[in-house]
């Protein structure tokens, strides 16, 4: 199905490898750091002004909290769009997976900064690159308080008729949101009883943090394709090679919300793919280091016509994984998403299933130390960074009253009991960049440039727009 790259393009690739152009100084942002959503917005606006001949910034829609889902279109505007191939990068559907957003933002900057090099000029002549660095800005912003996967669809977990009425709040001033346990000063860790999450008990019901700013909806289970599907094909008991890496609760259809394609962020992305023809796309994530290709909901079936592009996507995924591994020195693997763990209604099943777009979930960062001897490819493919150790802090009843301003009786504490605050690595890393994030984002940029080249330049190759989406 795919034609070989033209000889001309191959020669240009070789020349550009001999004369490398560094994008490390792109703009003023330091990619060793984490950036706020406001910094993303100002950076994207600056790019659209500074590189107006190749960029256009527009909003795909707004979220529950009225934040914009920004899309930066990068292409040579002097050439007719109908003569170019579309490529889309959609990052940060999961709010807390901020390294994905950083990778996409860095790539937008690098494509602009390098736009006069032979390699990137050729790309901008033959392709249109659409970059959405933050698809879930509400979840992204909330993740500076505590890593938060869902969006902020108003939710009333404590049932008091007010949404988000007991949000997580740092009440002991250590900069982290802790899980709160009751117990005595000498109670062993395993015997401490979890009672909630750090908050001043805003709703005064004696339960800490029981209505946080999080909807519980996993946007990547709500696309309008095989929505809510759970049957024999997606059952890991039947597919023994399937293995959950983040726990059964978070996989398959869990967190699917109330209906398919109804969350504003998902609606915006589905509308985008109906309006702009693209031939390849990537949904950028973190949590592991891999390139995953469809299907998420079932295994590959060579006899099914719908699966005809899967061998191509498998080949591309393996190539991209190798590029990232070679550049970052961290292992990165390729797999069919379903054999990584089965889910349904993910973005890549939607884009491939509905539009025949070659679709890839790229996961750029697996936190923690790799175990090179593990039999599990996931364990062998982590970033190799030391995560902060869990911090425990005990408060007796006097401190609970005076320092935390909480009422020990309302919390049901008995004589001699106090509160244990646990700030684990997840909590301590919220809103912070892991070491070598600058290497990570540059690695993703290199992967993206190669991903673009796996599609023929100059026009529509495989995208279709079904009648029912017109």
Site residues for Zn ion per CB under 5 A: 94, 97, 285
Kind and range of the H or E element at 268?
helix 264-275
Minimum Å distance from CB 296 to Zn ion? 12
| Nearest residue (CB) to Zn ion, 94 versus 355 | 94
Q: Least Å distance between CB 248 and Zn ion? A: 16
Q: Looking at beta carbons only, is 98 or 178 nearer to Zn ion?
A: 98
Closest distance of CB 94 from Zn ion, Å? 4
Residues 145, 430 contacting (CB under 8 angstroms): yes
Strand partners, 464: none
- Closer to Zn ion by Cβ: residue 12 or 348: 348
- The CA-atom distances, in angstroms, between 386 and each of 51, 332, 365, 390, 438 are 39, 18, 13, 12, 17
Enumerate the β-bridge partners of residue 87.
129, 280
Residue 40, φ and ψ in degrees, nearest 5: -60, -50
Residue 258 C-alpha from the chain's centroid: 22
Euclidean distance between CA atoms 361 and 295, whole angstroms: 11
Distant-in-sequence, close-in-space partners of 431: CB < 8 Å, separation ≥ 6 = 34, 98, 143, 144, 145
Q: From the CB of 78, what's the least distance to Zn ion, in Å?
A: 37
Smallest separation, CB 343 to Zn ion (Å): 11
Tell me the closest approach of the beta carbon of residue 188 to Zn ion, in angstroms.
35
In the numeric block, which tokens belong to residue 3? 């034609």
User: Which of 423/433 has CB closer to Zn ion?
Assistant: 433
Whose Cβ is closer to Zn ion: residue 195's or residue 433's?
433
Q: Is the peptide bond before 295 cis (omega within 30 degrees of 0)?
A: yes
**CA–CA distance, 272 with 240 (Å, rounded to integer):** 36
Q: 99 or 122: whose CB is closer to Zn ion?
A: 99
**Spatial strand order in the sheet of 358-364:** 55-62, 68-74, 127-132, 85-91, 280-285, 358-364, 289-293, 333-336
Between 94 and 153, CB nearer to Zn ion: 94
Parallel/antiparallel/unpaired status of strands 127-132 and 289-293? unpaired
Q: How many CB atoms sit inside 10 A of residue 284's CB?
A: 30
Token pair recorded at residue 256? 């699917």
Q: How far apart are CA 361 and CA 365, in angstroms?
A: 12
Q: Choose between 359 and 461: whose C-beta lies nearer to Zn ion.
A: 359
Shortest Cβ 381–Zn ion spacing (Å): 16
89, 282 in Cβ contact below 8 A? yes
The distance of closest approach from Cβ of residue 241 to Zn ion in the complex, given in angstroms and rounded to an integer, is 22
Minimum distance of Zn ion from residue 93's CB (angstroms): 6
CB of 27 or CB of 94, closer to Zn ion: 94
**Nearer to Zn ion (CB atom), residue 97 or residue 456:** 97
Quote the CA–CA distance of 361 and 90 in Å, as a whole number. Answer: 10
Residue 94 corresponds to which tokens in the numbers above? 């999961």
Compute the distance between CA of residue 276 and CA of residue 294 in angstroms, rounded to an integer.
21
Minimum CB separation from Zn ion for residue 226, in Å? Answer: 18
Closest CB to Zn ion among 286 and 461? Answer: 286
Helix orientation angle between 118-126 and 7-18, rounded to the nearest 10 degrees: 140
Cα separation of 130 and 111, whole Å? 11
Q: How many CA atoms lie within 13 A of 410 on its CB side?
A: 14
Shortest separation between residue 329's beta carbon and Zn ion, angstroms: 23
């Amino acid at each position: 199905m795919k034609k070989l790259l033209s000889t001309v393009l191959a020669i240009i690739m070789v020349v550009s490898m001999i004369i490398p152009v560094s994008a490390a100084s792109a703009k003023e942002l330091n990619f060793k750091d984490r950036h706020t959503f406001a910094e993303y917005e100002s950076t994207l606006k600056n790019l659209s002004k500074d590189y107006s001949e190749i960029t256009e910034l527009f909003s795909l829609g707004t979220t529950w909290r009225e934040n914009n889902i920004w899309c930066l279109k990068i292409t040579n505007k002097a050439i007719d769009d109908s003569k170019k191939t579309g490529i889309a990068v959609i990052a940060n559907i999961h709010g807390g997976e901020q390294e994905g957003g950083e990778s996409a933002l860095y790539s937008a900057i690098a494509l602009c900064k390098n736009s006069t090099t032979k390699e990137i000029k050729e790309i901008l002549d033959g392709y249109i690159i659409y970059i959405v660095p933050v698809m879930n800005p509400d979840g992204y912003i909330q993740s500076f308080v505590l890593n938060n996967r869902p969006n902020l669809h108003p939710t009333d977990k404590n049932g008091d008729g007010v949404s988000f009425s007991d949000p997580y709040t740092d009440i002991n001033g250590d900069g982290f949101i802790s899980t709160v346990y009751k117990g005595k000063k000498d109670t062993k860790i395993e015997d401490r009883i979890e009672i909630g999450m750090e908050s001043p008990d805003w709703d005064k019901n004696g339960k800490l943090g029981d209505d946080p700013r999080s909807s519980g909806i996993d946007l990547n289970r709500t696309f309008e394709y095989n929505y809510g599907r759970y049957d024999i094909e997606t059952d890991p008991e039947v597919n023994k090679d399937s293995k959950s890496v983040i726990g059964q609760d978070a996989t398959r259809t869990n967190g699917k919300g109330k209906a398919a394609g109804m969350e504003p962020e998902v609606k915006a992305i589905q509308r985008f793919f109906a309006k702009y023809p693209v031939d390849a796309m990537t949904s950028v994530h973190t949590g592991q280091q891999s390139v995953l290709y469809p299907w998420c909901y079932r295994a590959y079936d060579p006899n099914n016509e719908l699966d005809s592009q899967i061998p191509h996507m498998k080949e591309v995924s393996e190539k991209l994984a190798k590029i990232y591994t070679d550049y970052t020195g961290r292992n990165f693997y390729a797999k069919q998403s379903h054999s990584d763990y089965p889910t349904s209604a993910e973005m890549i099943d939607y884009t491939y299933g509905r539009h025949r777009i070659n679709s890839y979930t790229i996961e750029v960062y697996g936190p923690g130390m790799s175990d090179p001897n593990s039999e599990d490819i996931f364990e062998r493919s982590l970033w190799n960074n030391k995560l902060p150790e869990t911090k425990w802090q005990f408060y007796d009843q006097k401190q609970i009253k005076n320092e935390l301003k909480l009422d020990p009786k309302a919390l049901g504490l008995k004589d001699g009991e106090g509160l244990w605050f646990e700030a684990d690595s997840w909590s301590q890393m919220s809103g912070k960049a892991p070491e070598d994030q600058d290497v990570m984002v540059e690695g993703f940029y290199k992967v993206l440039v190669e991903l673009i080249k796996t599609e023929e330049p100059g026009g529509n190759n495989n995208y279709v727009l079904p009648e029912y989406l017109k």
